[in-house]
Chain A
């Protein structure tokens, strides 16, 4: 038995799955005490079930997303080693100290550290009252020695300080994003550990003792609850990932689907290409300018939903993006698309009579009947969403490519299914589907799609290996580890095997070695190193990962209209 729990902003959803079927769903409204909500949700899905049979619990949480949005995290000092390249005076409003050491693109030290300078920086950091420090160097994912050395010095001087290093937090090539990711991890760790404690206690109290516990990440993968304490930032934006995975579980395998999640004020669009959710090529951006390395599914948010406000300007009807309370039919004071759906007979929400009243009032001065107004409103919503869907595909087609085969195989893809999730989906999705030429699908259990998505998510791990036979070294981008190549001869096969064995090792360390049965190879490039007309070595770039996907598909697929 598996449990999925989505701790949202206002409610906590839970689902119990067994033998690939939804056994029970629950929704509880959040109280200020996280523990209470968790216990309530667990109690609802566990009635009549033995808790010890639960093998796996996956949670998704908006806690860190909210902390960051409200800037309720701890202040962090940054010790940075930018080396030559782009100038870095400041990083947002953080306390920045620039240090001398530098590493280049091949992981070579091009400028040594100055330990006196590190000591001086520690003094300054202390005098400003910080006790949390992020240490980040350019190219630290190719070689982490400087970061480790600086962290050691800090620890020896200030054992009680919290120190986070860039190569641990952000394992891709992007120094500014690595800084942001490291800083946020450092800033949220302490508060996040309360969350982890509450989850552990709640599960213990309900006797769920035989389960592996995971946290959902923004890329739709999971990490163990314990390892998530090292990188709380990975939990952000897991909400949209949860509902996309939920849809993936509720629709037939292998198909290309567009997920349209129509909420009160926003509509989230996501793409499942041949059965796999599309990952965004760039990391998550928080607020306007906090760019991170956190991988996420490519989700596009459109500011329109069932509760958006409809207004009349001159002879035209327009829809505002902000919410001004509930729809008129639910006692609100403004007309909304939800009211239009009621009038069209597409939904039966609240007081339908009130929907008719407000649509009629809206049409009065422009000589339109309530029905005409409602049709127009729905068309406006459908238009807006259809345009954004087209844009989403265009953006996807505009993704850069770095290899000839990638450019030459680019093709136009359009979805087979348009899958509706969320309160207002039933009313809009059939028309959106017609507009984009897909088949409308409204799966069962869509109100629990997020919890289902969490429950079926699988752990994901990735290793990006660069083996450099000229230097006889290899490095792992995910953690900046640098090792030496011992095998001779060392070729493409050896590089791939090394990457795979590193993945297995990493999975063992994280207690998820069961997941590494099949390994997917996502990239394999070979570069001849030629110097003075002689081949002096080769660089192998290999990227391997645990298979993407979900545990199982749930139910019979959904209602085809």
Chain B
């Protein structure tokens, strides 16, 4: 028998960020109504699964939550991440061919260090799946394609120095929309150069140009990278009715995009046209993944004459695709030495704005530019989050493929920071051992997540 498409539907009908917030109980209500009324969960091509609950250990594999996982993570976040993990397990053990996690809250703006909620996200659901897949199944190469109208800045941040994770995000140009990042020259650190591909699009892109980007850029890059697993951060705010985005994509466009991308796992991200878009786009994506006819999934207010892309936009998109194609081709010959000479570390400074609670985080991020392995990352971060006030932390992340020397250096960096009075909390993420520690200066305790 042909394998099915798995779905976890978790609308969190009893949770909202606040009454008026776009992330509220109502968000997936009409999607629920549409999917149930269509009877798609009865289709022989579809299997429904319950969400699971991700553990603090699953989350610590990705995030440095300040001060602790439980301080930043609610049950809702653990369930959304757990839902995506559950589907990834079903895919890996061969029960289903692909899966769609229609869940909330979303996650693609959540970065490696978590001081609070950003862009409605606290936990990066896709990143939790990536680390789970690597740890549990030894998968090496994973691609994440972010089709949300906003730049997936959290995902970019988490995998910026990870050569094993290809992150491709198309989105509305950061000069016109939150979070203001995602330009084509953000290509990844020296150990992961060109494993971060941003495709900033001008407002007003319609189905045809979007599919042009997929055919001529995304698919060829995926073909080169040869991922063992493809995750789609499936934001639906490119829809022509979305209140936040300014794109002209239809449910049909989303379905065709999905059909071309063939993700193993799609995870719902943004999309706040909860009546005019979500019921239809979610249904169309689900049918496309299951290989069913989606041609009748058409928005009631669909009027093709209103969704015409301007020739300038088309032209712009074609030129942008050509540019990024050239960058990608050239990147294949570029070495770490060329990128940072004989410097032992590559470093960058970042300031990250938490738009839900209005505070800023300052970061200094360093990666060891090792020629034998992806290197380890050291992050020095401080912020004045409302929960605990001003606080500075140091976090060390050791990639699961780090060489012996990098592991030793990373552990030393952690132990040195424990002696440094400036850091209230010091974190270690040793992915080679699946060992995650938090050192608390105040009481000199060292906590280890269990898992």
Residues of A whose CB lies within 8 Å of any CB of B are: 82, 84-87, 102, 104-106, 110-111, 138-139, 142, 172-177, 282, 291, 397-405, 407-408, 410, 525-530, 532-533, 535, 539
Contacts and interface: CB of A to CB of B under 8 A. Distances in A.
Interface in B2-19: 8-16, 19
B384 interface: no
Given A139-B37, A530-B26, A86 B53 contact: no
A465 to B, nearest CB: 15
A528 B42 contact: no
B116 interface: no
A529 B293 CA distance: 32
Interface string B9-44: 111111110011010111001101110111110100
A533 B32 CA distance: 23
Contacts of A525: 13-14, 25
Interface in B407-433: none
Contact of B39 (A174, A399, A410): A174
Contact of B75 (A106, A177, A400, A404): A404
Given A402-B11, A529-B26, A530-B20, A86 B50 contact: no
Interface stretch (B127-135, B279-287, B393-401): B279-287
A105 B279 contact: yes
Contacts of B40: 86
Contact of A528 (B14, B20, B296): B20
A467 to B, nearest CB: 13
Interface of B: 8-16, 19-20, 22, 24-26, 29-30, 32-34, 36-40, 42, 48-51, 53, 75-76, 79, 243, 275, 279-280, 283, 287, 292-293, 295-300
Which one of A87, A138, A530 has the highest number of Cβ atoms from chain B below 10 Å of its Cβ? A530
B37 A105 contact: yes
B37 A138 contact: yes
B49 A527 contact: no
22 contacts: A84-B296, A84-B300, A85-B283, A106-B30, A138-B37, A138-B38, A175-B37, A177-B42, A400-B9, A400-B48, A400-B49, A402-B12, A403-B13, A404-B14, A404-B15, A404-B76, A525-B13, A525-B14, A530-B19, A530-B24, A530-B26, A539-B29
A174 B296 contact: no
Contacts of A111: 300
A86 B38 CA distance: 6
A102 B76 CA distance: 35
Nearest to B8: A400
A102 B301 CA distance: 13
B300 A404 contact: no
B38 A175 contact: yes
Nearest to B293: A87
B38 A85 contact: yes
Contacts of B293: 86-87
Given A401-B10, A525-B25, A528-B16, 20 more contacts: A86-B38, A86-B39, A86-B40, A86-B283, A86-B297, A87-B296, A173-B36, A174-B39, A175-B37, A175-B38, A400-B9, A400-B51, A401-B51, A402-B32, A403-B14, A404-B75, A407-B50, A527-B24, A533-B20, A535-B19
A407 B37 contact: no
A229 B9 CA distance: 37
B140 to A, nearest CB: 31
Contacts of A407: 10, 50-51, 53, 75, 79
B42 A174 contact: yes
B298 A398 contact: no
B79 A174 contact: no
A408 B75 contact: yes
Contacts of A139: 33, 37
A528 B24 contact: yes
Contacts of B51: 400-401, 407
Contacts, number: 126
Contacts of B22: 530
B32 to A, nearest CB: 7
Contact of B12 (A86, A105, A403): A403
Q: Which of B24, B53, B297, B300 has the most CB of A within 10 A?
A: B300
A143 to B, nearest CB: 12
B280 A84 contact: yes
Given A84-B280, A85-B297, A528-B20, A105 B13 contact: no
A348 B92 CA distance: 52
Nearest to B251: A84
A110 B10 contact: no
A85 B38 CA distance: 7
Nearest to B39: A176
Contacts of A172: 36
A110 B34 CA distance: 14
A159 B410 CA distance: 85
Contacts of B11: 402
Q: Which among A172, A403, A404 has the greatest number of chain B C-beta atoms within 10 A?
A: A404
B58 to A, nearest CB: 15
A535 B296 CA distance: 32
Nearest to A88: B296
B14 A84 contact: no
A87 B283 CA distance: 12
Which 9 residue pairs are nearest across A and B when measured between Cβ atoms?
A105-B33, A176-B39, A173-B36, A110-B300, A527-B26, A403-B14, A87-B296, A173-B37, A86-B38
B8 to A, nearest CB: 8
Given A85-B296, A86-B292, A407-B79, A398 B37 contact: no
Contacts of B8: 400
A138 B8 CA distance: 24
Contacts of A410: 50
Contacts of B48: 400
Contact of A398 (B14, B19, B30, B49): B49
A138 B16 CA distance: 30
Nearest to B22: A530
A138 B35 CA distance: 12
Contact of B25 (A87, A176, A528, A532): A528
A532 B274 CA distance: 12
B79 A404 contact: yes
B19 A177 contact: no
Contacts of A174: 36-37, 39, 42
Contact of A86 (B20, B76, B287, B300): B287
Contacts of B15: 404
Contacts of B34: 85, 105
A410 B82 CA distance: 14
Nearest to B19: A528
B383 to A, nearest CB: 28
Contacts of A282: 42
Contacts of A404: 12, 14-15, 75-76, 79
Contacts of A291: 39, 42
A404 to B, nearest CB: 5
